[in-house]
C-alpha cells in the first residue's frame, strides 16, 4: 500500500528482489520482554515488549517506551525466546477442587485447643499479658 506521506517509501513486496520476504520467517529483529521496577527493592513487573537486535539497544528503547511517563528505578529486558511458559491447553492444571480445603489454613479450627493448652500450663495470652502490665487506672 502506498503511503499518503510523500516522504515515506514502503517496501513493495511485489517488486523484484524483495518477493522472498515472508511473514512466517521474517528477517527482522527479535523481541525482548520488558520488566519495569518503580522503586528500588520492589518487584519488576512485566509491561510489554520492544524489538531490538541486541540487549543494549533493547534497553535504550525500553527506557523511552516504558519509563518516560512513570516513576522508574530500573528496567530489565529478557529475550522473549528465553521465557518458558505453560501451555493454555493445560490451563486446567490450575483448577482447585472445592473439596481440598484441608490444604488451606482457614480450614483448621484449633484456637480452643491452643487456649486449653495455655490454661493448663498457666500461659497468659498476649493480650492479657499486656493488660496485666498496664492496669486500668480508672
Partner 1 sequence: MNSKYNEALKELLYKIADDQLIIGHRNSEWTGLGPIIEEDIAFSSIAQDKIGQSRHFYELLHKLGEKNPDIIAFTRSEKDFRCCHLVEYPIGEYDFSLMRNFLFNNSEHIRFQMLCGSSCKELSGLAKKYTGEIKYHIMHADTWVNQLGNADVEANSRMQSALNECWNLALGIFEEGPYLEILREEKIFSGEEELKNSWLEVIIPKLEKASLKIPDTNTWEPSLGGRYGYHTEYLKPLLDEMCEVFRLDPEAEW
Rounded Cα gap, residues 42 and 57, in angstroms: 25
For position 75 contacting partner 1 by CB under 8 A, the verdict is no
Within 13 Å, how many C-alpha atoms sit on residue 118's CB side?
13
User: Is the backbone of residue 17 left (phi > 0), alpha (psi -120 to 50) or beta?
Assistant: left
For position 38 contacting partner 1 by CB under 8 A, the verdict is no
Of residues 21, 45, 60, 114, which one binds partner 1 by CB under 8 A?
A: 60
Minimum CB separation of residue 3 from partner 1 in Å reads 10
Of residues 35, 36, 50, 77, which one binds partner 1 by CB under 8 A?
A: 50
Beta-bridged to residue 74, according to DSSP, are 37
Rounded Cα gap, residues 26 and 15, in angstroms: 17
Minimum CB separation of residue 94 from partner 1 in Å reads 33
For position 65 contacting partner 1 by CB under 8 A, the verdict is yes
Of 19 and 54, CB closest to partner 1: 54
Amino acid at each position: 500500500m502506498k503511503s499518503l506521506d510523500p516522504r515515506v517509501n514502503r517496501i513493495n513486496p511485489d517488486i523484484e528482489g524483495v518477493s522472498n520476504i515472508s511473514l512466517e520467517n521474517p528477517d527482522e529483529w527479535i523481541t525482548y520482554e520488558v520488566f519495569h521496577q518503580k522503586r528500588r527493592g520492589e518487584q519488576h513487573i512485566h509491561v510489554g515488549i520492544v524489538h531490538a537486535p541486541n540487549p543494549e539497544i533493547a534497553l535504550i528503547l525500553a527506557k523511552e517506551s516504558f519509563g518516560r511517563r512513570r516513576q522508574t528505578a530500573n528496567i530489565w529486558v529478557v529475550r522473549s525466546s528465553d521465557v518458558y511458559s505453560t501451555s493454555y491447553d493445560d490451563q486446567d492444571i490450575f483448577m482447585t477442587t472445592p473439596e481440598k480445603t484441608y490444604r488451606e489454613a482457614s480450614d483448621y479450627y484449633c484456637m480452643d485447643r491452643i487456649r486449653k493448652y495455655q490454661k493448663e500450663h498457666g500461659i497468659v495470652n498476649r493480650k492479657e499479658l499486656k493488660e496485666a502490665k498496664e492496669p486500668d487506672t480508672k
